[in-house]
Amino acid sequence: MYFHFLGFMFLLCASVLGNTEIRHFRPIVDGQKAHCSHKLPATILIAPFTQTDPVTIASLESTKHNRQDKEHWYCLRNLEPGLSHELRISYAATTPSRFIIDIFSSSEVQQLYNLTNEQVLLGQEDAAEQIMYARVTVSYAGASHIQGLENDDIPYIFTLEKHILGLPVQALWLIAVIVAVVALSLLVVTPKLQAVINSVLSEPAKAQKED
């Protein structure tokens, strides 16, 4: 019961303190192996799990920021074709925003930015691999009498995570911990607690017999 209460409070606090946008995808095998292009300023995220530090982005409605401030690019590496992955954005619930995650193959990025094969395929010493790109944008979704809120920077945390057996890899560790705690409770804590209860209940019966 105590653990159930703690779990409920954790979920309640998480729902109050933050919002989450999730995009599931499976890597596209387009036959083109590439490097993360230096021509596109992108943060590299490596599967099975990578989480960024908090970063800020400007909304698309902002009149005080340029395009580079309004869209963030991420290069997704070490992806496994055929397996499900997820991209997850976490941000404050007090921020009236709507995040959008667009996913591109390397060939689509090449066409979008008119990059040559040399700009996409060359530039690093390690071997080329199957990669994808993610673009993050955000729209101001609030209605306020205060003017200029759409120009405020919006902080968020971005996560790439691979799924195993339909679950995020980090969730597997949590499940393992829960199973270990439950097993410890059933095998150790519960028998000792039952022994204490039985000992307390048997005291009145012993007293009556002695009388």
Enter the pTM of the model.
0.74
pLDDT score at 204: 66
Helix (H, G, I), strand (E, B) or coil at 73: strand
User: Low-confidence residues of the chain, pLDDT below 50?
Assistant: 1-17, 122-125
pLDDT score at 54: 95
- With beta carbons less than 8 A apart as the criterion, state whether 36 and 104 touch: no
The per-residue b/e assignment along 160-198, b for 16 or more CB within 10 angstroms, e otherwise, is bbbbeeeebeeeeeeeeeeeeeeeeeeeeeeeeeeeeee
